A and B are shown apart, each in its own frame.
Chain A
Amino acid sequence: MGARVKKLALRASLLGALGLIASPVSIADRFTLPGALNPLARPEPILAQVFGDIEVLRIDRALDRLDAMLQSFPNFRLGHLIKGDLLLARGRPLATFGNADYAPPDRVAELRDEAIARVKAYRDKPPANSLPRALVQLQPAQKHALVVDTLRSRLYVFENDHGRPRYVSDYYITQGKAGAEKMQRGDRKTPVGVYFVTDSLPREKLGDFYGSGAFPINYPNEWDRRLGRNGYGIWLHGTPSDTFSRPPRASDGCVVLSNPDLDEIAQRLQIGVTPVIIGNGIEWTSAGDWEAERRQLSQQFESWQLDRDSGMADRLLSHYSPRYAGEKANFAQLSRSLRDAAQRTQAPVRNVAIFRDPGKDQMAVVTFEEDGRNSKGRPTVVTKRQYWIVEDGRWKIIHEGQA
């Protein structure tokens, strides 16, 4: 068998098994990596180059790249697997991707999934200048926002550019063993919705399993509770010291990043402030569409504000869903309280953040601050959160309360 035929067979069995045989995708017009220190210090560009080398039958170069990568990431199991394949191919034809005959097939399958997730995320980046529909408006205090796409096993970091999100970087993530859309405790799923980082647990307080740190999020949020979703302890966290990254579906619902990636993100997180929006599929919109939707939602919220300040209870009540439930237990109670309060001057609203829930419901989460009084009657700043849904073609508040 000629060397070229052998290499062609290698290419077919490796890339074919990954479903990656394709004309190389130009990523020039895709997201670039302004935030990352060195793009080649990440596995994806190297993996893409390795597969590119295999594509053009440059097996030696592929091996050299892998060796260099494994110097940087000695616990990157996927890298070792591909290296094994390339070495084995010198002695005999390969059957597929991951030819360790003696290995448990599910372990190989997990690494194959990781390879596909990483390379696809790298090849098919969201179009440049597109924005995630979920990030409608950031508060001035929110320096960054995280958007997690469980379909792509990817976490995107955006920075706040005068209320407008600007892409910074993206990372491979692991989600729950059973996928996304968590419903109940123990279902090993990752929740989908609009969340916020609530705490930072330093590595000293954690076991090695969580790696370089952990950031809990507020699952279940008010909306989750209302829908009867339960469970707790959903964190963003790192990996054990002997593991660079975990397979795409391996956690009990947490979002897991490699330790270097988590460290990089950690610098940008603000406890109680940074939003973490998780979708099983994230919608990307053009700047124009994004602008239009932002205007519409902002106007909706402003109109609520105007009606609240108008002192006319009926106008204010028209913004609430008959299915409302929140701080005032139900719509009837809300109605009474609004009539009582209608004559009072309302506190000004500041620092509005608006996010769309990427889940199945047409929903937006609005967070804002207003001046209030604490239990002792002293003035204080109250953070409030409203959940808006589309009802009969109109945005209505279905839940309202202190955040």
Chain B
Amino acid sequence: MTFGSFRHVAGTAAAIALALGLALPGPAHADNLADAQALLKQGQLQAALERVDQILATKPKDAQARFLKGLVFTELNRPADAIGVFTKLTEDYPELPEPFNNLAVIYAQQKQYDKAKVALEMAIRTHPSYATAHENLGDIYARLASQAYDKALQLDSTNATAQNKLAMMRDLMSLSGRPVGRPPATAVAAATPAPAPVASPAPAPAPAAPNAKPAAAPGSVVPAPVAVPAPTPAARPAAPAPVAAASPAPAAKPAAEPDGSADVAKAVERWASAWSNKDVKGYLSQYAAGFQTPGGAPRAAWEQERTQRITKPGKIDVDIADLDVSVDGDKATAKFRQHYRSANLNTSSNKTLILVRNGGKWQIQQERLGR
């Protein structure tokens, strides 16, 4: 869950009050609100709820406090209560986009995409430049499309479609006078204590579909992790496990294999760990100059696309298992199972890398799905 925009909150309350023509809250009110926000941020949800209720006891109409209460309910996994709070806010303040947006996020969580769509369209109507709502709406369209395709083709794509999470708004920013946009995002994600059923650490859910390509086209090279669902071991270490440990096959071989398969295994490991560490430069350097880009795209375009994906906010874990390396002179084939986990995607798929040796360094020439 992202609280990236929380620092705006204290200043916002006054602005809201002004904008809504409410009595300017006294300092005590502001403190209480800040406390409640801090408690929410720390995951002390019950305490946050109590504090919000204290504020509302004296100021039952307070928009900021009610908004916060909706967030707390959401975190408490009480979607019906959260919907009640946000719905009432949309009725009382139809000019605010945030309650509409958050309503949509909860509806989407419940797979009520049509309702989510209506709420987001309302959010955009109130605030045409409201980026979060636009992005969320794009995602809703993709999900609705996917549902329609399922009905058309009698498929169940719930596993094939990356279930990107929509971005919940954390603040009534549209009233703060600040530029409207997504909260800055981020590294705070790791600190998120509570089970967050709705909120997303990644601020920009891309439309689901581009991520959702499974290995449909045989032989096609797909650079991104594919949405082949596989149960992820719960206790998987965050960092990629050393390749040798994860794969009995190479481990069984003599350490100093003359054909260099140990070096190949190390190269694969470097590749996976650069990816996990979001080290774009290190990651890209694992690819040979003659790397065959997917679909023969220009190298620069491919690099840009990879950079974009890898640097997307949120943690990435790439694990390699069952590595099988075969070396033929200056060419090697590495086959393995790739476990990929990011904010939006949790997949496990078979992958094959063709590597070439350039001046003693093994680099990737081809990357494809399947073994």
Contact = CB atoms under 8 A, between A and B. Distances in A.
Nearest to B149: A100
B152 A92 contact: no
Interface string B295-317: 00000000000000000000000
Contacts of A81: 148-149, 152-153
Interface string A60-103: 00000000000000000111110111011011100000111111
B144 interface: yes
The B interface, classified by DSSP as helix, strand, loop or mixed, is helix
Nearest to A103: B153
Interface residues of A, number: 23
Contacts of A85: 145
A108 interface: yes
Contacts of B153: 77, 81, 100, 103-104, 107-108, 111
A290 to B, nearest CB: 42
Residue among A80, A101, A103 with the highest chain B CB neighbour number at 10 A:
A101
B148 A91 contact: no
Interface stretch (B42-50, B194-202, B211-219, B336-344): B211-219
Contacts of A98: 149, 152
B159 to A, nearest CB: 9
Contacts of B213: 101-102
B146 interface: yes
A77 B148 CA distance: 9
B246 interface: no
A77 B207 contact: no
Nearest to B138: A91
Interface in A193-215: none
A69 to B, nearest CB: 12
Contacts of A88: 141-142, 145, 207, 209
Interface residues of B, number: 27
B148 A92 contact: no
Contacts of A77: 151-154
Contacts of B60: none
Interface string B342-364: 00000000000000000000000
A162 B28 CA distance: 94
Given A92-B209, A102-B160, A102-B214, A87 B154 contact: no
A84 B138 contact: no
A245 B274 CA distance: 52
Interface in B159-195: 160-161
Nearest to B215: A102
Given A77-B151, A92-B210, A102-B216, A87 B157 contact: no
Contact of A84 (B139, B152, B154, B210): B152
B230 interface: no
A85 B141 CA distance: 10
B238 interface: no
Contact of B138 (A79, A90, A107): A90
B155 interface: yes
B151 A91 contact: no
B142 to A, nearest CB: 5
A3 to B, nearest CB: 13
A87 B210 contact: no
Contacts of B142: 87-88, 91-92
Nearest to B208: A91
A84 B213 CA distance: 16
A114 to B, nearest CB: 11
5 contacts: A80-B151, A99-B145, A100-B153, A101-B213, A108-B153
Given A81-B149, A84-B152, 13 more contacts: A77-B151, A77-B154, A84-B144, A87-B141, A87-B145, A88-B145, A90-B138, A91-B207, A98-B149, A99-B209, A100-B149, A102-B161, A102-B213
**3 tightest Cβ-Cβ pairs between the two chains A and B:** A84-B148, A91-B207, A100-B149
